[in-house]
């Protein structure tokens, strides 16, 4: 197997109190790794900590954030250099596409210029840069004429592709996508996801795709990680997790997501709500809502252990039976 491109171990993100707000523990002891060409899906509902995890990797969190743990990119410990270590990763190996990236394009610059701006500096002459612009646009399935256009002349789907092209312009090895397709229409969304898949295969690009849309993530990613209340509760090969989810939350998440053609009788909801992140939770954070909880779940937070699907799960009583199909 390839050595890990990105290694995250014991990542913790706190938000120091502002005004009257308490200190919040948004990302709790998160560990995962991404290899070259791997497609990792980060799934969870609002407040699970997916976006915060991604933004922490590039030092994009606000000033009152406290980050600790270990982040290694290509074997180098990035956090050792403090915040600037994270900043240095931007455009140098890791690129980001956000949900509203299509709205973040400079409205008074043409697309071509914005692409050139994102390219690594030095080394290329004008002609080479323009050729690269055409190449990037072609990569994302856009005609070269787009380079002369302004953002407002393009549709949402096209602008999101431009955002992806801008991310690619820095020649990253890892792409972070935070709800990158959520704002798009279903048909356009499918095309963009296809595009991402192609890019990963052709360029050996690794991607961490964070989204609350389970079916979409399951379609694109070969590895799936479910997050709840700041922790990764399950991680493993997508197909295996889909067929035999071990963590009760993962299973319930699958059961709450309608598959096209499935009727309402099969749909479940999870009563209750996630705990406030300002609380210190001695036991498992999912315990209050978990159908499989026992006394021991309230006492200690379950450690991450190997799961039968080859990945890992953090649960005292993981499910071992087949999930219903």
Instruction: Judge whether 312 and 285 are in contact, CB under 8 Å.
Output: no
- The answer to whether the CB of 302 falls within 8 A of the CB of 314 is yes
Q: Terminus-to-terminus CA distance in the chain, angstroms?
A: 31
Task: Give the pairing of strands 231-237 and 39-43.
Answer: unpaired
- Within positions 84 to 143, which residues make up the interface with other proteins, using CB under 8 A? 85-86
**By CB under 8 A, is residue 74 in contact with other proteins?**
no
CB 19, min distance to other proteins, A: 8
Q: What is the dihedral of CA 75, 41, 29, 97, to 10 degrees?
A: 70
Question: Least separation, in Å, of the C-beta of 169 and other proteins?
Answer: 24
User: Is residue 288 near other proteins by the rule CB under 8 A?
Assistant: no
Q: Is 236 helix (H, G, I), strand (E, B) or coil?
A: strand
To other proteins, the closest distance from the beta carbon of 107 in angstroms equals 16
Stretch that binds other proteins, among 113-121, 142-150, 182-190, 309-317 (CB under 8 A): 182-190
Query: Counting Cβ atoms within 10 Å, is residue 152 exposed (0-12), middle (13-18) or buried (19+)?
Result: exposed
Applying CB under 8 A, which of residues 148, 291, 299, 310 lies at the interface with other proteins? 299
CB of 80 to other proteins, least distance (A): 5
Give the residue with the Cβ less far from other proteins, 77 or 117: 77
- Contacting residues for 73 by C-beta, under 8 A, at least 6 apart: 5, 6, 7, 89, 93, 94, 174
Q: Which helix (H) or strand (E) holds 52?
A: helix 50-57
State the minimum distance, in angstroms, from the CB of residue 208 to other proteins.
15
User: Closest distance between other proteins and the C-beta of residue 325, in Å?
Assistant: 7
Binder to other proteins among 88, 118, 190, 203 (CB under 8 A)?
190
The site string for other proteins over 205-234 (x = CB under 8 A, - otherwise) reads -------xxxxx-xxx-x------------
Which of these, 77, 98, 101, 99, lies nearest to 89 by C-alpha position? 77
Residue 163, both tokens = 């955002």
Cβ proximity to other proteins: between 115 and 221 the closer is 221
Binding of other proteins by 153 (CB under 8 A): no
Instruction: Pick the closer one to other proteins by CB: 115 or 181.
Output: 181
Q: Under the criterion CB under 8 A, does residue 33 sit at the interface with other proteins?
A: no
Number of residues in contact with other proteins, rule: CB under 8 A?
76
Q: Which stretch binds other proteins (CB under 8 A): 103-111, 115-123, 135-143, 299-307?
A: 299-307
Tokens of 27: 């990302």
How many C-beta neighbours within 10 Å does residue 7 have? Answer: 19
- Pairwise CA distance, residues 302 & 283, whole Å: 7
Within positions 6 to 25, which residues make up the interface with other proteins, using CB under 8 A?
Answer: 9-10, 12, 16, 18
């Amino acid at each position: 197997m390839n050595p890990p491109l990105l290694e995250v171990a014991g990542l913790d993100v706190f938000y120091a109190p502002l005004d009257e707000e308490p200190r919040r523990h948004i990302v709790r002891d998160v560990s995962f790794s991404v290899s070259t060409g791997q497609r990792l899906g980060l799934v969870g509902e609002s407040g699970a900590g997916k976006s915060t995890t991604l933004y922490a990797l590039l030092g994009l969190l606000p000033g009152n954030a406290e980050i600790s743990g270990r982040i290694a990119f290509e074997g180098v410990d990035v956090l050792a250099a403090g915040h600037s270590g994270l900043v240095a990763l931007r455009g140098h190996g890791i690129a980001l596409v956000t949900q509203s990236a299509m709205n973040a394009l400079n409205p008074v610059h043409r697309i071509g210029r914005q692409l050139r701006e994102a390219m690594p500096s030095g080394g290329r002459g004008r002609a080479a840069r323009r050729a690269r612009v055409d190449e990037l646009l072609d990569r994302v399935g856009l005609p070269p004429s787009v380079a002369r256009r302004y953002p407002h002349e393009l549709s949402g789907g096209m602008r999101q592709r431009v955002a992806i092209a801008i991310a690619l312009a820095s020649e990253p090895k890892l792409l972070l996508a935070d709800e990158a397709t959520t704002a798009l229409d279903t048909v356009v969304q499918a095309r963009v996801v296809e595009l991402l898949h192609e890019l990963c295969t052709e360029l050996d690009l690794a991607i961490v795709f964070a989204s609350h849309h389970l079916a979409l993530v399951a379609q694109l990613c070969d590895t799936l990680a479910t997050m709840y209340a700041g922790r990764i509760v399950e991680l493993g090969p997508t197909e295996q997790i889909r067929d035999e989810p071990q963590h009760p939350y993962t299973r319930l998440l699958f059961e709450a997501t309608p598959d096209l053609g499935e009727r309402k009788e099969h749909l479940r909801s999870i009563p209750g709500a996630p705990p406030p992140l300002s609380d210190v939770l001695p036991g498992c954070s999912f315990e209050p809502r978990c159908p499989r909880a026992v006394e021991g779940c309230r006492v200690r937070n379950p450690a991450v252990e190997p799961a039968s699907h080859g990945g890992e799960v953090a649960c005292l009583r993981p499910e071992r039976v087949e999930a219903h199909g």
